[in-house]
Amino acid sequence: MDDLGAGPFALEFFDEPEAFLLSAEEVLAREPVLGSVIASVTTRTARELADGQDSWAEVGAPFDRWWLVVRDDAGRVVSAAMRTAPFRPHPTFAMPMPEAAARELAVVLHARGELLGGANGALPGAEVLARETARLWGGELVVAKGSRLWEAVSVEVPPAPEGRLRRATEDDAATVLAWFREFHVEADQQAGREPDPASGEHNTMDSVLGRIREGVEWVWELPDGTLAHLSGSGVPAYGVARVGPVYTPQEFRGRGIASYVVGELTRRGLDAGVRMCLFTDTANPTSNKIYAGLGYRPVVDMAEHLVRLPASP
């Protein structure tokens, strides 16, 4: 762990998930919905390492992954971030972060020669981090996509279509993996962006099998046994579970499957005393409308910003 920062905020870096979780518990417990991504990803990493697995070893990133807590001048933890994304350009993900702390983080990373190619997370901190990074490196700031975090304050489950909802099994793994990858491409298409064919490459058979064994992937099976839909509903962290990804192949859309499945998984979570949240793409009005109709309400807008350096002469 490194303690850095001469300004009003102290930045504490961690290279082990367990140590980070101990220090970040204050803010993750205080803001469990805002911290759901960091908490769930980090606890999964901790479980992997405890089982003798380290998927990061196969990523091939030019830096060691890290986690971060931000403390104010009174020592109170006010934000948390991580750089653990297995896909290029390995963006950070941050909870709401004071702008001064975001600028300070950019300076620290630049000073140690670690190029931050992307910053994801709550606005405006994520944008400030990326903008300051671009300035320091002489690069360009590009907004890749916007997202919105929602929480279900209640839920109205629509009528069930024909078929049944069940947990995915290892026999479904090949289909789940294919749909994970198709989800990323089609999400870009639906939002009017040029699809990135490599955006789902970080999903592997091992990662899919791990999620299936956790029991967090659900499929909709038609009466004839055909699989028609996939939804994830994660293991709760600090009392919060996150739904996603949500994917229906084109030939099965328009039947109300996604609306029912998300509504039903949300209902089960709420009935169990779990707070339920999910992300939408702000450029996709259809999904935003569907989830608002189920009972989800916006919490915070987020965005992924990329930092592109000028081409070498």
Question: Both tokens of residue 220?
Answer: 């909709």
Helices (H), 112-196: 125-137, 173-190
Separation of first and last alpha carbons in the chain: 39
DSSP 180-195: HHHHHHHHHHHTTPPP
pLDDT for the residue 313: 44
Q: What is the mean pLDDT of residues 190-219?
A: 80
Query: Is the separation of the CB atoms in 242 and 207 below 8 Å?
Result: no
pLDDT for the residue 2: 60
Domains of the chain and any CATH numbers? 2-147+303-308 (3.40.630), 164-294 (3.40.630.30)
| Alpha carbon of residue 127 to chain centroid | 17
pLDDT digits (tens, 9 = 90+) for 105-149: 999 999 999 999 999 999 999 999 999 999 999 999 998 889 999
d(CA 111, CA 156): 51
Query: Is the separation of the CB atoms in 234 and 216 below 8 Å?
Result: yes
Model pTM score: 0.92
Q: What is the mean pLDDT of residues 236-258?
A: 97
